[in-house]
Amino acid sequence: MILGEGPGADEDRQGIPFVGRSGQLLDLLLTSFSFKPEDYHICNIVKCRPPGNRTPSREEAAACRPLLKEQMLFVRPAVYLLMGATAFRYFTGSDEGITKARGIWTVSNKCHVMPTFHPAYVLRDPSKKVDLWQDMAAVRKKLEELELIEPVDKQK
């Protein structure tokens, strides 16, 4: 399960997460690592765009939490990829910065959790591309280790 912050303008209009420039970068990453659409589910911490496209408040995240929990129960992921500081903060409850937390696996309720940079952040700071690439590679490897997806060399 890939968790982002919340919808931007494009996502809000279309009702689909990660369809703007950030989504294009995420799609490129997923394709580069041979992920198929059935390998992942994309959603957000909050389900509607906060006014002025600001960071969602704790209250907004809390209001959306029941729906997010329902998505988690439906998808039943073994691995969470937390994209950005907001997803990391509201998923884990930690106030640690994403720069310090990214790339480090944790386990929560028997699920593996990988925090990384949000694609929008990487678009603003291209020096973080390598970190995002490494984190996505770690997610690919973890899913292969858990035998949830076939190794790339065995795919047809």
Q: What is the CATH number of the domain that holds 18?
A: 3.40.470.10
Residue 154 within any structural domain of the chain: no
pLDDT, tens digit only, all 156 positions of the chain: 999 999 988 888 888 899 889 999 999 999 999 999 999 999 999 998 888 889 999 999 999 999 999 999 999 999 999 999 999 999 999 999 999 999 999 999 899 999 999 999 999 999 999 999 999 999 999 999 999 999 988 765
DSSP 54: P
CA distance 138 to 83: 14
CA distance 76 to 42: 13
User: How remote is the C-alpha of 66 from its chain's centroid?
Assistant: 18
Residue 61 within any structural domain of the chain: yes
CB hemisphere CA count around 66 (13 angstroms): 2
Residue 108 within any structural domain of the chain: yes
pLDDT of residue 88: 98
Q: Are 53 and 10 in contact (CB under 8 A)?
A: no
Total number of domains in the chain? 1
Residue 60 within any structural domain of the chain: yes
pLDDT of residue 124: 97
Instruction: Please give the sequence-ordered ranges of beta strands (E in DSSP) within the chain, or none if there are none.
Output: 2-4, 42-44, 79-83, 106-108, 111-116
Q: Which domain holds residue 42?
A: 2-148
Token reading at 33: 């690592």
Residue 107 within any structural domain of the chain: yes
- pTM, entire model: 0.94
Residue 131 within any structural domain of the chain: yes
CA distance 60 to 151: 39
pLDDT of residue 10: 81
